[in-house]
């Protein structure tokens, strides 16, 4: 039965099986386990989800604030590069012109027009969130400010309650790519 998948509807009985360690075979043929499966048997040796994850990750001692990175083969902890800053978050409750590399939480208790930057640079990012959850009723108009949006020379209407949109500037041919 090697390399075969099978389904058991109920009461699987395995006869003639000798097992030592965490799996116990009972006289009726049923199998049970009361201990954690060790690493060399395909487990983590742990009994909780948090401890299981910690057993699989590289050692974490004194690494508060680090992030997990990979070189394609191995995982390790690394520090955040100097100069890295998170995008600022801005609450919007009026019509405004946006700045690149920002997150905007738009109050949609009224319709809003938010205008994209006039001279964006390649790779500029903007994130827009319907903070009130009423964009279907009170739309957010994203004014293109002379640049295309998804290759079109028209404004974008954001009308999804509780929705979010990311915009990345791809250059003058396609303009802002909406994701």
Give domain limits for the chain. 23-78, 89-178
Q: Which fold has domain 89-178?
A: Jelly Rolls (2.60.120)
> Chain-centre distance of CA 45, in angstroms?
28
In the chain the first and final C-alpha atoms are separated, in Å, by 48
Distance CA 131, CA 105 (A): 5
The residue that leads in pLDDT, 70 or 165, is 165
- Give the separation between CA 113 and CA 97, rounded to whole angstroms: 9
pTM above 0.85, yes or no: no
pLDDT bin (cut points 50, 70, 90) of residue 33 is low
Q: 91-134 pLDDT, tens per residue?
A: 999 999 999 999 999 999 999 999 999 999 999 999 999 999 99
**Which strands, in side-by-side order, build the sheet including 176-178?**
89-92, 102-106, 125-130, 164-169, 176-178
pLDDT at residue 64 in the model: 77
**88-111 residues labelled b (16+ CB within 10 A) or e (exposed):** eeeebeeeeebebebbbbbbbeee
Q: Is the pLDDT of residue 88 over 60?
A: yes
Indicate the helix (H) or strand (E) that contains 23.
strand 23-25
Q: What is the pLDDT of residues 55-77, one digit of tens each?
A: 888 788 887 778 888 888 888 88
By the 8 A CB rule, do 39 and 51 touch?
A: no
Q: What's the confidence (pLDDT) of residue 130?
A: 97
What are the angstrom distances between the C-alpha of 159 and each of 105, 129, 131, 151? 14, 11, 12, 20
């Amino acid at each position: 039965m090697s390399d075969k998948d099978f389904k058991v509807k109920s009461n699987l009985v395995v006869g003639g099986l000798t097992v030592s360690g965490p799996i116990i075979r009972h006289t009726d043929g049923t199998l049970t386990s009361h201990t954690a499966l060790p690493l060399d048997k395909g487990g983590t040796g742990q009994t909780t989800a948090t401890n299981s994850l910690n057993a699989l990750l590289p050692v974490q001692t004194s690494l508060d604030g680090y992030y997990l990175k990979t070189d394609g083969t191995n995982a390790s902890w690394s520090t955040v590069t100097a100069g890295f800053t998170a995008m600022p978050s801005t609450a919007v409750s009026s019509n405004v012109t946006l700045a690149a590399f920002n997150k905007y939480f738009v109050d949609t208790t009224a319709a809003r027009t938010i205008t994209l930057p006039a001279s964006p640079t390649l790779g500029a990012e903007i994130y827009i969130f319907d903070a009130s959850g009423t964009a279907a009723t009170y739309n957010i108009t994203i004014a293109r400010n002379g640049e295309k949006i998804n290759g079109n020379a028209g404004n974008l209407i954001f009308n999804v309650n509780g929705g979010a949109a990311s915009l990345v500037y791809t250059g003058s041919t396609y303009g802002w790519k909406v994701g």
